[in-house]
Every structure is written in C-alpha cells, then in structure tokens.
Structure 1
Amino acid sequence: MSQPTEQKFALPTLTAMVVGSMVGAGIFSLPQTFGRVTGGLGALIAWGIAGGGMLMLAFVFQTLSRRQPDLDAGVYAYAKAGFGNYLGFLSALGYWTVCCLGNVSYWVLIKSTLGALFPIFGDGNTVAAVAISSVGVWVVHFLILRGVREAAFINTVVTVAKIIPILIFLVFVGLGFKADIFAVNFHGGPGLEAEGLFTQVRGTMLVTVFVFVGIEGASVYSRYARRREDVGLATLLGFLGVLCLLVLVTMLSYGVMLRPDLAELRNPSMAGVLQAVVGRWGAVFISVGLIVSVLGAYLSWSLLAAEVLFSAAKMQSMPAFLTAENRNKVPFAALWLTNSLIQLFLILTLFAEQAFLLALKLTSSMILLPYLLTAAYALKLAWQGGIYVLEPRGRGADLVRAALATLYAAGLVYAGGLKFLLLSLVIYVPGTVLFVLAQRERGQPVFTRAETLLFAAAAAGAVLAIYGLATGRIGV
C-alpha cells in the first residue's frame, strides 16, 4: 500500500507564511509607537537602517536554505550547527519565547481595542482583560488539541484578512495627507526639541525589530517546501512587501496628525489616525479588521510555538517529553508548556504600566540572539569556505551580506539597551533547566567549559535584573 503524500507548500503559500508571520499586532500600533519617540526624519532613517539590516538577514536565510538544505528546523538549527548545543538550545528557547510573547501582545492589543468601547478592559492589562484573554488562550488550546492543524491554510486566509484593512487605511490616509502637518512633524516638533536625532532613531530600533519578527517564517517550515529554493525567494518577496506597508503606514500618519497627538493615541493607533481622516467608522473598521486578523494569527503562532519546541526536542536540544503527540498528531506536551508560559506572561501584564509596549520590546530583545547566531553562522561558513568548494560562485557576496547582518544584529543589542538585555536573561537562565534535562537524557555532560562560563555570566545578569526589579531600578 502506498504511503500518503506529505503536504508540500508552493511559493505563494510560503510567501503568505512570511507576510502573515510579520504582519501582526505591530503594524497596527506604528503611528503611536513611532510618534512617541521620533519625527518623520528619524522614522525615515530608522526604516532605512532596519530595512537594510533585515534585507541582509533575509539574504542570509536565502543563502542558508540553499547552501545548508539539511538544516530544516528553523533558526535554532543554524545556531546549534555553528556554535554548539547550548547556544543552539538558547536560540530555540529564545525563539519559542518570542512566539509566546507575540501571542501575549495579540491579547493585550485586542483588549485595548475593545477598551475603547468597554472601559473595563482599559489598555488591555486590567484584571478583566487578563481574565477574558486567559479564557481565550485555553479555548484555542483545546481546539488545537482536537486537531486544528491547518496552519498553512489558516495563515493564508488570515493574511488576506489583515492586508485588506491596511490597504484601505493607506488609500484614505493618503488622500487625507497634509504636507504642512508633515513638515511640522519632520524634525520631531514640540516635545522633542531636546532629543537628538541619534536618540530618536535609537528609540525606534526595538519597534522595527518587532514588526519584522517572522521574516524567518518560511525557514521554520522549510522541510515542507515543494522546492528548497522557494524558501529564500519567499523570504525576500515577503520582506519587501511588508517593508513597503510599514514605511507607508508610518510616514503617511505624520501627514495627518501632529506628532504629540500621535503619541497620545490608544492602540491600535492606526484606528485613531483613520478616524481623524474619515470619522468614527474608520476607527471601527480598523478595530474589527485587527481583531479578526489577530485572532487568526494567534492560532497560527500558537501552532508555530509548539512546532518550535517539538522540532527542538527532535533535534535533542529539548527534553524528549516534548516530542509526545496525541492521536490527532498534535504535540500536546509542547502545546501545554507553550500556553502555560503565555498564561504566566498574561498575569505579569497586570503589573506593567504599558503592557503592549513591554511585550513589544521584550519580544524584540528575545529574538536578537537567534538572529545574531544565524547571521554569525552564515558569516562563519562564508569565511571558512568549506561549503563553497564545489560551488564557489557568490562566496564574496555571501560574506559581505552575512557580515552586515551580523553587525546589524549586534548593533540592535546595543540599541535595545541594558534593561531589556537583563530582562531577557531572567527568561534564558531559568529556561536552561530544559537543556539540563535534555543533556542528562542523552548521558552527556551538561556544559562544556566555555558554556559553563557563558551560563555563569548569564546567571549573574539575571540576578542583577531581579535585584533591579525588586528595588525599582528596573521598571516595567
């Protein structure tokens, strides 16, 4: 009897995965998050830096998908191949946490959107908001356990659902654009006179990372690609399309409202901008579009989060219990652990003054290690040249692009600041218990000498972060 053919994804589906992964809660909040820290000039520079850096990273994913086709489990597979077991684990842990934090930001933004009609939800971090969000988390959890695994189809439909409101926003805001307002906002305007351009641009860096999280979406599911070369092409096509949307949403908003007014908008701030142009129906339209698209995206990211743990466990970077599947072929152990972490993060939003912004910046900080290690792995391969022996053409270009991507990712660590770096260690260090379990299951020493030093440094940073939180020196 012939075996059933495994589902394979064509280029349009892979591209939709990239677009769907990147276009989430972040783009709907851009007018406010940019308006808080910079004017039009700073925004243009920020998108130029982010666009260039992320383009280099997209090229890195394209190169690795072609040169290392056997590494088909996502960004953490590159980290493990290039830098050993522990850094591979940390990359997997970081990426999984990003998926969980991204889902938390979805719930916060949904409840913030509803808060405009129902004040009990506030900005998405009230007790009522967390309670309703928690119910939603576990409803989706049990739906997935019943076998809701059509992630590719759902993601494609949701991508269309979220792009249509954004395109309509761009049309009406473009028609309502006022050059005189844009001119006032170009250098920042009132309230930013004392802030230099460097400070303004730096303040946007974690925001730009957040909206690009998902650029690796095709690589995570690369083993399902019909053609390996489609993975890299889908990444580039998806990236360029999303970059155009991000820049247009940001820059056109500066021509509708003064920057201080943009900064005061509640999220989703795209709703407030469109309302200023067309009236109340604009805010309702964007809000409905956001809730529909974000709920669908939440399901896709929940599946992705479980896939990360499941794949990492298959690679022996996580404990073996995470490979357990139920009769519906759902990795139930990975799913339970994922939604338990999401529930914990939701509870913690009760103690954050700006829960969405905290989730945004912490997500961006956590993704930096996986991105940095991926770029550094590509740089290592191009520098050593071993995989280029049979096909040396393009090695020089790959070397330059990988070097620029590595430099960009390292620069983001600096731009993010010490606060979020330390907060990320509070997650990385306790999470290391999963690595200890995995190593003991394999009968391997837990750490090499270098990894022992790395863990000691990370633990010291985590202790410092906890002390800062306890004394109020680090605020959330």
Structure 2
Amino acid sequence: MTNADTGATPSTVPEGQPAIKLTLLTLTAMVVGSMVGAGVFSLPRRFAEETGVAGALISWAIAGIGMLMLAFVFQSLAVRRPDLDAGVYAYAKAGFGEYLGFFSAFGYWASACVGNVTYWVLIMSTIGALAPPLGDGDTVLAVVLSTVGLWAFFFLIRRGVKEATAINRIVTVAKVVPILVFVILALFFFNPSVFADNFGGADYAGSLFHQVRGTMLATVFVFLGVEGASVYSRHAKRREDVGRATVLGFLSVFAVFASVTIVSYGILPMGEIAELRQPSMAGVLEAAVGTWGKVFVSVGLIISVLGAYLAWTLMAAEVLLVAAKDDDMPRFLSRSTAADVPVPALLMSTALSQIVLVITLFSDDAFNFALDLTSALTLIPFLLAAAFAVKIALRPDQEGAIGGTTRRELAIGLLAALYTAFLLYAAGLKYVLVSFIIYAPATFLFVKARREQNRRLFSPAEAVICAVSIAGAVIGVIALAAGWIEL
C-alpha cells in the first residue's frame, strides 16, 4: 500500500523524520486496493458450491451489514482513540491487555501471510488451464514455481520499496478494470430463465441456513482489508479521514463483489458454476462471450493478485514493525535497512507463507483451505476490536478516549461483535483448531519480548489465556493426526 501522492510507502518512514501524511483519497484507495485481490475472482464458484440466488442475497445482506458495522467500529475508534496506531492490534492491546494485543497482532499478521498463499495458488490454477502439470495450483510443480515467485518478491522489496511501489501504482487501477468489465458483460448476456432456475439453489445445497453459513468465510476473505486505513492511521493528514476512508472503500467494494456473485447466476446453472476451475469468474465470462473472456479475466487476475500480494506483504511487515517498536514483539523485528526496508519482519512473513504453501500439497482443496484459514485467523483480531468499541461505549470516561458515547456507538459495537462471533461459529471447529495450532507457538515471541524487557512473563490472566491456546493447539494436532479433521 502506497501513498499515491508521494510514491513512498508509509511503513518505512525512517525514525526522526516526519511521517508521510495521507489524504482521504489515498486512504480510500488503500482500503479498496487491500480488498480487491484473489477473492473476488473466485466468488462465482465458491457461492455456487453452497447456495443459489436466494441464499446469496441473504449472505451478502448479512455480510454487508456485519462488515459495515465493523467499518463503523474502525471509524469510531479512529476518532475516539486517536492515540492508537496500527489499528486492529492497537485496539486489542488497549482494551484487553498486552497478551491479547500480541495475539491480535500475530493473528492479523498470520492471516495476511496465509492470504498471500491463496494468491499464488490462484495464479498457478489460472496458468494451469494451459499447463495441466500445474493442476489447480496444488501440484509439486505449482508449489515450486510459487516458491520462486514468493522469494522473488522478497528480494524485490528487500532492494527498497521505491521499486515495489512503482509496480503497485500500475496495478491499482488495472486490477479493477476486468472486474467491472465482467459485471457489465454478464448483465448484457444475462439470461432471466437461468437466473430463475438458480434462485432456490440446487439439490446438493441443503437447508437455507446451511447454505448461508457455508458462504460466510468467503465473504470475510473478500472483505479483508476493510481495516487497511486504520493500519496506517498514524499517517493520515486528518484523523477523521481514517474512518471516512474505511466506510467509503467498503461500500464501493461491497457493491462490486455482490454484483459479481449475483450476475453469474444469470449465465450458467449453479451446478455448472460449481464445477468450474478457479478463477471461476473466467469460466463464467467464457460461457458468455467465448474464449477471449476467459483470457481477459485471467490476465486481469494475475495483475490484480500480484498487486494485492505486494500490498499485503507490506501491510504484514507494518504490523510486525509497529508491534516490535511498541515492545510487544522481539526487538529484531523493529530493524530496518538503510533503504528503510524492515527486512526481519519481511523475512518472517515470507517464511510463514512458504510453510503454508507447502502444507497446501496435503490439502484436498488448496485454495479454499488457504482462503478459509485466512478468514478464521482474522476473526479473533476483529472480535477484539469490536469488543473494545463496546467497552469504550460502556465506559466513555476511560483514559485516552475523546468525546462521549452514544447509543448508536454501543449498538454498532454490539452488532459487530455478534457478527464476528457468528463467523467463528460458521468457520466450524476445524478452522478454530487449526488457528490454535498457529497461535500457540507464537507465544515464544511474546516470551522473548518480555525477557528483553526483564519483565514478568505472564500475569495470572495471561497464563490462563496461554494455557487455553496451548490446549487448543494440542487438541488440533491430535485431531489432524487421528483424522477427525482434514485439511
């Protein structure tokens, strides 16, 4: 994510120099850029696997309201607690202590790294339509080529962010064009009778509640990045622009994502959409206009995904960098090179993506596994941010808060918290346990940071949280080993 006005990246401002200040337009573009990535190109098949038109409309209504409440939460917190930077992580720490703040930072960072894996899987799946050895992006050859790309980007950013941001500026506009063209062409070739047949869903879809639940993690994934402006809140020219950018960016992207899903039901029967290879948007457009539509979407996807990968890699490094500077991560993660690149944070981010990339070889559906795990990892940070908004609404006089609370803020916070809790339920036990497996080992970083400061490792409450996370990880490992859950 970059400052379009200066060409510089906010995450790498040297100490002692004034932070780059971002305009409302730039912050809004950061939100849109963060959200528009791999997920939107997979929506037709992902929804058709679970539900018909009726379920899709309900799903988008729930997701739209729920995510809008979260956007309002970030808007409110940006104004009420202007002293807090780095968004999600800072809110969890201020509201519920350093250990949960650490977990929020780590979970948010881990979700970005796992999400980056979906980009490489989707790129390889796209090319796999022409090169069968790449399969659906989950073959050994696909993982090897993805690994080359993963580390090529590491060395690109390692050289200095000026080269990286030049690429990002190019793809910011290019990524949106094929999506808008898809929606327009799908409307032109829209078949009302096909749409009507898809309205109630297919026989395999199950009950309407089951259909809606099955789409929830997909909607979370495509909306990841709604908090993008709050992550860089310390760079905003005006603090209130952070919240405005969050809401404006969300509403723009929501309209596009919902449109992509719904218009697809007017092109092909949902059973056929569910069988399309990813990116399914390419298959839908091919059915409407021919081969050139598939090629057009595929090229647009690769451009979009590479831009999103760059943006999320920089955001992941920013979270680790800020947490380390706040003494919530080990000090080595706060180091930057003479070119202002946080190499240790960047290296750690790339390494986690590499590990997950290898794990996809053992998954039945590499793309959906990485997508759902990304969403599940994000839910804890989102839930803590929503709960913090409720806490401020109930205790408006707490230290650092500006202004008085309103019933509207309390209602928004409660709705956002309930929505996020429902998403944890929708994720299912499988992804909650796998999340614990990732969260629990992270405690070693927390312990290292505490030792560097010569502080007590855990308070009684933190010890309980640590025990719960370790127990969840142990159960998760046993469940995987015994075959109770599968990747």
TM range (shorter): over 0.9
Counterpart AA for 2:102 = F
Partner of 2:276 in structure 1? 265
Partner of 1:220 in structure 2? 231
Paired residue secondary structure (1:191): helix
Question: 1:39–1:189: 8 Å Cα contact kept in structure 2?
Answer: yes
Question: 2:81–2:401: 8 Å Cα contact kept in structure 1?
Answer: no
Counterpart AA for 1:31 = P
- Unpaired runs of 5+ residues, structure 2, are 1-15
Q: CA deviation at 1:87?
A: 0.3
Question: Is residue 413 of structure 2 the alignment partner of residue 399 of structure 1?
Answer: no
Indicate the RMSD between aligned Cα atoms, in angstroms: 1.5
Partner of 2:183 in structure 1? 170
Partner of 1:291 in structure 2? 302
Question: 2:122–2:137: 8 Å Cα contact kept in structure 1?
Answer: yes
Counterpart CA distance in 2 for 1:58 and 1:85 is: 24
User: Once the two structures are superposed, what CA deviation does each residue of 1:286-333 show, in whole Å capped at 9, x if it has no partner?
Assistant: 000000111122112111111111111011110011011111111111
Q: CA deviation at 1:159?
A: 2.7
Partner of 2:97 in structure 1? 84
User: Once the two structures are superposed, what CA deviation does each residue of 1:86-144 show, in whole Å capped at 9, x if it has no partner?
Assistant: 10000000000011011100000000000000011100011111111111111111111
Would you identify which runs of 4 or more consecutive aligned residues in structure 1 move more than 6 Å? 150-153
- How do 1:91-106 residues align onto structure 2 when only pairs under 5 Å count? 91-106=104-119
Question: 2:396–2:403: 8 Å Cα contact kept in structure 1?
Answer: no
Counterpart CA distance in 2 for 1:380 and 1:6 is: 30
Counterpart AA for 2:403 = E
Paired residue secondary structure (2:161): coil
Counterpart CA distance in 2 for 1:297 and 1:24 is: 5
- How do 1:25-424 residues align onto structure 2 when only pairs under 5 Å count? 25-149=38-162, 154-192=167-205, 195-386=206-397, 391-392=403-404, 395-424=406-435
Q: CA deviation at 1:151?
A: 6.6
Assess, with a 3 A threshold, how the Cα gap between structure 1 residues 332 and 18 changes in structure 2: closer, same or farther. same
Question: 1:40–1:254: 8 Å Cα contact kept in structure 2?
Answer: yes
User: Once the two structures are superposed, what CA deviation does each residue of 1:175-198 show, in whole Å capped at 9, x if it has no partner?
Assistant: 111111111111102433xx1100
Counterpart AA for 1:83 = F
Question: 2:138–2:366: 8 Å Cα contact kept in structure 1?
Answer: yes
User: Once the two structures are superposed, what CA deviation does each residue of 1:12-39 show, in whole Å capped at 9, x if it has no partner?
Assistant: 1111100010111000000000000111
Q: CA deviation at 1:156?
A: 4.8
Question: 2:79–2:402: 8 Å Cα contact kept in structure 1?
Answer: no
Counterpart AA for 1:175 = F
Counterpart AA for 2:476 = A
Counterpart CA distance in 2 for 1:389 and 1:133 is: 45
Q: CA deviation at 1:149?
A: 4.7
Q: TM-score, normalised to structure 1's length? A: 0.96
Q: CA deviation at 1:153?
A: 6.3
Q: CA deviation at 1:74?
A: 2.0
Alignment length (residue pairs): 471
Question: 2:157–2:163: 8 Å Cα contact kept in structure 1?
Answer: no
Higher mean alpha-carbon deviation, 411-420 vs 452-461, is at 452-461
Counterpart AA for 2:190 = F
Q: CA deviation at 1:6?
A: 3.8
Q: TM-score, normalised to structure 2's length? A: 0.94
Paired residue secondary structure (1:125): coil
Counterpart CA distance in 2 for 1:158 and 1:235 is: 21
Q: CA deviation at 1:227?
A: 1.1
